[in-house]
Amino acid sequence: MDSFFISGTDTGIGKTLISAMLLLASGGRYWKPVQSGTIEGTDTETVRKLTGLGDGHFEKESYMLEQPLSPHLSAQIDNNHIHIGTILADYENIQTRGRKHANADTDAVADTIDYNSLPLKSFIIEGAGGLLVPLNENDLVIDLIAEIGIPVILTSRSTLGTINHTLLSLEALRSRNVPVAGVVMSGPFNPENKKAIETYGRVKVLAEIPVLSEIVKPDLLLFGSRMLDALRT
Ligand SMILES: Nc1ncnc2c1ncn2[C@@H]1O[C@H](COP(=O)(O)OP(=O)(O)O)[C@@H](O)[C@H]1O
Ligand SMILES: [Mg+2]
């Protein structure tokens, strides 16, 4: 399976939940390069808890910022500065390590994590906030996505207002030639909004996630598999 960058039309939209679904269903790896807000716990911890998967499925964040604010501001408060180059170097290292472990028979690598059991390219990267969120004074999250160069899965809400937010996000991605793998809608079923997003956005809605009263593994697997099936067809 391929790598995907999970972004959204907003913060608190369901990116982490959808990442957990895809991770569990694919058995791949998860990475949150920029964690803005560590006070209330990290997204990596949440995905770990939700999926129950072990260390080998998780990569270390490039930036851990304390305040739950836009990354550019959160970094400023921490006397830190986000460099896209640092994140890209981490990405390259992760890929190289994955490749080395895939060739472990001929290439002995001293590392405690067993990547052999994991698919080489199965990689879920979760963004911070939405697409036009600043990382520093020059770069936005979407610039990082364009540099990494993998397809985006856009998380959107199902309710009123989503058509505008989703179409704007799709337009921003296309204007930078970022491939869009599809949209995942979260919230009460709204077939009209789904139809409008598919028609006007020229995009596939990979899954609709209902409001889950409790987030349990069978549901994560069910919706994750549904997304993977939709991505394959
Ligand atoms: N379909 C849903 N059903 C139930 N809870 C949801 C759903 N989508 C999101 N949530 C909850 O909303 C909150 C924000 O979602 P999260 O995945 O953390 O968003 P993001 O990563 O985009 O900030 C979390 O507590 C998450 O469990
Ligand atoms: Mg999140």
Q: What is the pLDDT of residues 156-205, one digit of tens each?
A: 999 999 999 999 999 999 999 999 999 999 999 999 999 999 999 999 99
Structure confidence at residue 107 (pLDDT): 38
The number of distinct structural domains making up the chain is: 1
For ligand 1, pick from 6, 7, 11, 16 the residue to mutate: most ligand atoms within 8 Å of CB.
16
For residue 46, give the ligand 1 atom closest to its CA: 18
* The pLDDT of residue 101: 62
| pLDDT of amino acid 221 | 96
What number is the average pLDDT over the span 98-124? 53
**Calpha distance 167→209 (Å, rounded):** 19
Mutate to test the pocket of ligand 1, among 9, 11, 13, 17 (most ligand atoms within 8 A of CB): 17
> Is residue 233 scored above 90 in pLDDT?
no
Is 13 touching ligand 1 by the criterion CB < 6 Å? yes
Average pLDDT for 142-164: 98
pLDDT at 145 over 70: yes
| Token pair in block for residue 166 | 């989703």
Per-residue pLDDT, averaged over 75-102, amounts to 90
pLDDT (average), residues 80-84 = 98
Give me the domain span that covers residue 152: 3-232
CATH number for the domain including 19? 3.40.50.300
Task: Judge whether residue 120 has pLDDT over 50.
Answer: no
Any idea which residues carry the catalytic annotation? 32
Nearest CA to ligand 1 atom 23: 12
pLDDT computed for residue 117 by the predictor:
47
Q: What pLDDT, on the 0 to 100 scale, is given for residue 40?
A: 86
pLDDT tens string 15-39: 999 999 999 999 999 999 999 999 9
Check pLDDT > 50 for residue 75. Answer: yes
- For every residue of the chain, DSSP letters joined together read --EEEEEESSTTSSHHHHHHHHHHHHT-EEE-SEEE--TT--HHHHHHHHH---GGGBPPPSEEESSSS-HHHHHHHTT----HHHHHHHHHHHHHHHHHHHTTTTS----SS--TTS-TT-EEEE-SSSTT-BSSSS-BHHHHHHHHT--EEEEEESSTTHHHHHHHHHHHHHHTT--EEEEEEESS--HHHHHHHHHHHT--EEEEE---SS--HHHHHHHHHHHHHHHH-
pLDDT at 106 over 80: no
Is residue 111 pLDDT above 70, yes or no?
no
Q: What is the spatial distance between Cα 201 and Cα 71, in angstroms, rounded to a whole number? A: 28
* Amino acid at position 112, single letter: T
Residue 108: pLDDT over 50: no
What is the per-residue pLDDT for 167? 98
How large is the average pLDDT for residues 42-48? 98
